[in-house]
């Protein structure tokens, strides 16, 4: 169950996801968020604090972002560009007895 992000206007992001109590609780904690009953999506302000909070809250979820929005988010918060690599870090392994040096 992915979370989808697109742009409403220059100052709002649209957030869509399948309902879970945990997800709703998380998004409700974002300052300035609102629920659009008619279109059935959440909006959050396109501001550094709100976007950063969103990514922190949903860090363990698959977030699919519209390409144009993705570039705008990276411009707003450059350190998010490298976040996808955090989970790819490999723990150091002990060197086997027959090997003198690490690779």
Looking at residue 23, what is its pLDDT?
A: 97
Q: Total structural domains in the chain? A: 1
Whether 96 maps to a domain, the answer reads no
Of the two residues 29 and 93, the one the predictor is more confident about is 29
Sequence-ordered list of residues with C-beta below 8 angstroms from that of 76, at least 6 positions apart, any chain: 46, 48, 51
Looking at residue 99, what is its pLDDT?
A: 47
Whether 92 maps to a domain, the answer reads no
Q: pLDDT tens digits, residue range 37-91?
A: 999 999 999 998 999 999 999 989 998 888 878 888 878 877 666 555 333 333 4
Distance from C-alpha of 76 to C-alpha of 57, rounded to nearest angstrom: 18
Residue 8 lies in domain: 3-83
């Amino acid at each position: 169950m992915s979370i989808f992000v697109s742009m409403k206007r220059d100052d709002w992001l649209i957030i869509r996801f399948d309902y879970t109590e945990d997800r709703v609780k998380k998004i409700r904690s974002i300052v300035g968020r609102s629920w659009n009953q008619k279109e059935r999506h959440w909006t959050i302000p396109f501001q550094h604090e709100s976007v950063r909070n969103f990514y922190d809250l949903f860090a363990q979820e698959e977030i699919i972002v519209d390409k144009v929005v993705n570039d705008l988010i990276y411009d707003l918060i450059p350190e998010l560009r490298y976040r996808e690599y955090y989970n790819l870090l490999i723990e150091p392994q002990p060197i086997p007895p027959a090997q003198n040096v690490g690779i």
